[in-house]
Structure 1
Amino acid sequence: MDDMNSSPASPGTPTPSVARYDVIDAVVGLAPDDALFAIRHTRQKISDATQNSYDLFFSPAGQGLAIRDRLRVAWYACVLSRATGLAQHYRAALARHDGDPAIDAAVAADRLDDLEPSNLKAMLAFTRKLIVKPVEGDQAQIDQLQAAGMTAADIVTLAQLIAFLSYQIRVTAGLQAMKALESQ
């Protein structure tokens, strides 16, 4: 049975989840009293899992990839996808973690060739492949990440992050479209 539609809890039965406001709600501009907010949170487990994934990927305490690099990958994925609301969110978060103006200018303009060879440049090139032409994200791309000095664990994390971003971008775009229809 759906968490939001379950009957009153009896002893030993999990209680229904309470909808919590999250990043997607903020980016789309949903308020807890909006009908679209209620629809989105009908399956609270899914909304919670989405926010929990976000929290995991963007925790400053996360191991492996630096938070600055994770945020720059997220921002770049949103730039490539023309997801302006999410791009603004990630750009603002990156600014709180001391972004580099030269790198940020290259990312904003999608000019990866302006970057010095580094694991960041390789991560952004991998991001481009998986966002723009995912079928080209093959062993050659992984070899480039390894040649840039990335560990297997960091490559897996990067691929998972990009997959999450692709999902987040699409959910946000769908909700924005629904919100636009709602206002007509």
Structure 2
Amino acid sequence: MTHTFEGETTDLIDRLAGLTPGSATHALRQRRDKVAVATQQSHDALFDPALEGLTLAERLLVACYASRLTPSATLFAHYREALEQHSVDAAARAAVETGAPDDISDARLRAILTFTRTLIENPVAGDQAALQTLPAAGLTTPAVVVLAQLIAFLSYQTRVVAGLQALHQLETTT
């Protein structure tokens, strides 16, 4: 089952990278169709509203924040738009968009976003002590696993989009 946000085409990476069928970069990506399909399926699974552990709002806030930190303007805009389509606390959204999650009063969300920042900015610091802050803030083990998987996927997604955008830009300027 594909879980897309309003206005999204089936393949998010193609859409965000500006790829269209018939372009050389699109054809190159489709040579490994299994990878493209698996990438979309991973996105769909991680943003499935029924996924337990983290709420969809928490996952979207993580995605928006991670995209801001990386930085990926394309993914940041995508996830910010997705946040606007869902009931997300305005103060939490503003803190994520401005990069000030320490100002969030919700200890659970603050711990989630702090851990996100740690893994993106200094992955070596994502050690046992960093992990232990999550259960201390009320996250279950399955929630911690979902969070770690989401952050890893977002890192991968950022690199795929950036690489395809660069290839597409090269294709269109030569």
User: Does TM, scored on the shorter chain, surpass 0.5?
Assistant: yes
Going by fraction, where is helix more abundant, 1 or 2? 2
Measure the CA separation in 2 of the matches of 1:111 and 1:29. Answer: 30
Mapped pair 1:169 → 2:158: yes
Counterpart residue number, 2:104: 115
Conserved? CA contact 1:77–1:127, under 8 Å = yes
Count the aligned residue pairs: 165
Mapped pair 1:32 → 2:21: yes
The normalised TM-score by structure 1 is 0.86
Alpha-carbon deviations, 1:34-78, whole Å to 9, x = none? 111110111111001100000000011222210000111011110
Counterpart residue number, 2:42: 53
Conserved? CA contact 2:24–2:171, under 8 Å = no
Query: What are the ranges of 5 or more consecutive residues in structure 1 without an aligned counterpart?
Result: 1-19
Measure the CA separation in 2 of the matches of 1:154 and 1:21. Answer: 27
Alignment of 1:73-84 (within 5 A): 73-84=62-73
Q: CA deviation at 1:88?
A: 1.1
The normalised TM-score by structure 2 is 0.91
Q: CA deviation at 1:154?
A: 0.6
Superposed CA RMSD: 1.3
The AA in structure 2 aligned to 1:123 is: I
Query: What are the ranges of 5 or more consecutive residues in structure 2 without an aligned counterpart?
Result: 1-8
Secondary structure in 2 aligned to 1:183?
A: helix
Secondary structure in 2 aligned to 1:38?
A: helix
Q: Higher relative CO (CA 8 A, sep ≥ 6), structure 1 or 2?
A: 2
Q: Once superposed, which parts of structure 1, at least 4 consecutive aligned residues long, lie more than 4 Å away?
A: none
Q: CA deviation at 1:99?
A: 2.0
Percentage of identical aligned residues: 50
